[in-house]
């Protein structure tokens, strides 16, 4: 499901865990990113960075650059948040029960850094029937041009730091 140009070898392996202190996370992330990734927050629906994004590319964990979801699995849902029917690999994400809103939901987090991404629901399209409903501040989208810069050692030309 990854674009033909994407080289996962340029990005960290999910087997390289990231364990930072709370103060280190606060230095690495913006307040909005910290609120979602580390405090299990949720961004407002419909008016977020990636809900309308239809470009080809890969969505990385904003906290640790773990490749998580491909645009090939993205679909338009009426939820107001970026939605996907499958991750790049089940090994790149984790799930656990969430009872914070007085109902049972399944939280989705990054397997590498533990960052909160959103929730998964069983009302998605085929082939999985799942809807991974994610928060834009937990993700970083890279297209082919950004990937070429990373592959060429020109990451400094991007408006973000690739966390390895």
Roughly how many angstroms between the first and final C-alpha of the chain, as a whole number?
23
Q: Which residues are catalytic?
A: 133
106-110 long-range contacts (CB < 8 A, ≥24 apart) are 107/40, 108/132, 108/134, 110/61, 110/63, 110/64, 110/66, 110/68, 110/138
DSSP letter assigned to residue 155: G
């Amino acid at each position: 499901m990854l674009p033909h140009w994407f080289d996962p070898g340029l990005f960290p392996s999910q087997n390289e865990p990231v364990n930072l202190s709370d103060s280190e996370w606060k230095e690495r992330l913006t307040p909005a990113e910290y609120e979602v990734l580390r405090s299990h927050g949720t961004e407002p629906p419909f008016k977020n960075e990636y809900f309308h994004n239809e470009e080809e590319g890969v969505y990385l964990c904003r906290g640790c650059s773990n490749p998580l979801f491909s645009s090939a699995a993205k679909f338009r849902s009426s939820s107001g948040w970026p939605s996907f029917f499958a991750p790049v690999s089940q090994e790149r994400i984790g799930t656990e029960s969430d009872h914070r809103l007085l109902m049972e939901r399944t939280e989705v987090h990054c397997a590498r850094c533990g960052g909160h991404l959103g929730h998964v629901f069983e009302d998605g399209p085929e082939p999985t029937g799942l809807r991974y409903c994610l928060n834009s501040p937990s993700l970083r989208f890279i297209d082919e041009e950004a990937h070429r810069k990373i592959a060429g050692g020109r990451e400094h030309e991007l408006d973000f730091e690739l966390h390895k």
